[in-house]
Structure 1
């Protein structure tokens, strides 16, 4: 166990590792790094909503070889983890607990040794801390939240006090092993500095690129009252009930309002029950989903604890202003409401007021949509994300990254 004082010093100062050596002095060496994920194969587009694979591909487009480390546990291992976790008095949710993190960390450590890689980019901290850091191996972290932020906004019914205490300790021990942090948002960066006392020089905000949907450049009808909600399951956590109740109130005062909900098979029974409500089950990325974004006038998803949310960027890219809660990274994504509407009061009545106000001025919506799209396309791309990561991990100037000229010494 690392002492509190030693742990604090490790987190504040980090560990200095020797640079990769180039044994062939007469030629350039193609940079190599590994991406590790506890959710699955980092090259699989389904892993972490495609974040891992998009970063890997963008790094490869820069001329960097990317090795994938899959620390995902199979269903039998998960069952064993769950059982041990519960028998240890840690509650029903084993994510972030010592059993799951310990097993994932061991998997990564074995693969790092087998691959002989010297630089590892962890996609999330749930496979950390690793049991033992091998000398000469540098560890970097992409994170969309911290345990401290998660505890503030989430339902913790599946956690016991013992589990919360252990999870907090594991978070600090994980961060002690990281050389440089890549939070997706300024919101997480601030928490790393303020709560975990990370040196700001060891943090680079990378944001993300967008998903598979294409930007929409055509004319939109902002008078149609078309509201869109898209989330793959987790309806409650994404703020679906709040939106639905607010819509019912607003629709009585403005019957032209229409709400389309996507990805909620369990709520399709509401079709025909609530006026102007259409509920779809899962719709894969493609022409049908693209058309729903293209024809919407407002994207509403008041998620309770959405750390980042690629779907918000999809909305902006298709000229849809955003309606969401005024928390987490949403002020950053909407530029403090410049490209949408942010709620402080989490009630159906307030939701209804915002929906009615939103569609009271279609010209304002049109301007928001155009400005939001411009900001999104200029500010968020996987190429920018990968360039920030590569420039830190490989110490390669941005000019050489663009030219794909690399020499590591």
Structure 2
């Protein structure tokens, strides 16, 4: 019995040895693939050129991948993205290269546009490009692993003029005490800033703070000569080009960020309030219009004041921001029924109003004007009366 057990043990060990031997014969080492693909950039750092947008600013060249038999067909794919996107499908600039092409170039315009529109990068912030080349084979008797190479390039974008502001100021030697004065948005237009102030002879600068940086609104002509009462085209620069204020006096400064213009009114071409005449008990009255009252259904047929503000951009423009008005309404220059009024017609009728639509503004003190009304829709809590241009705009905000 012991002899049989011994024979079984010996046989088992022999079978195990044979299995190991057969396994050793079945495992073959795979030769390491000698990859040849190599990628080079024309520069490791670039500054996008705003003066030559359509010229190539960066070129990537690569060496051919390893040679294979004619049974295989090799193709090259290139990808461009920024670090952090991981060559995602929505962010990658993908190109399938033609046979025999081992180079890919990009212009300043392309990279700048992709940075702003495709990659949504912060304005004026440096970033890092990633360029990748993938060589892969099709056909042949066996699978061939692709070759992949990636390279990075530091990019300084084109400095973009941003006509946005957290704060807008007036400064320079023309401002008394040379202390910067902050100017505010106008009620009638959130893209417009205006201020009426005393200036001295000297230089007038318009600094703008946005996202922690300070730039200056400057005339595009680079000439600081005052073009009195003219809307001058401007841009944003890192260093000031001041306007020359030749004589002291009250000046009105209007900065329109949307139109990229600055209008400066000197005392010689000052914007003045409207002046109207009307009769009271047979006596002619002359009123300089610096305030407005509303009257009609929303006020219980009584004159009401205190809800109008005169625009800093133009003293003939008034903005209402009070309680919501609804129904027949007119606007007067004095709280009495015989006063000069502004309304929608001179036919003693009602002018139906829709929010967001501009209407003609009619002024007068005859019965046909005094008995005419704007029919304001429910919720009207924002009105712009432009006396100079004879328009009225009502809205709900």
Structure 2 length-normalised TM: 0.25
Higher strand fraction (1 or 2): 2
Is the helix fraction higher in 1 or 2? 1
Greater Cα radius of gyration, structure 1 or 2: 2
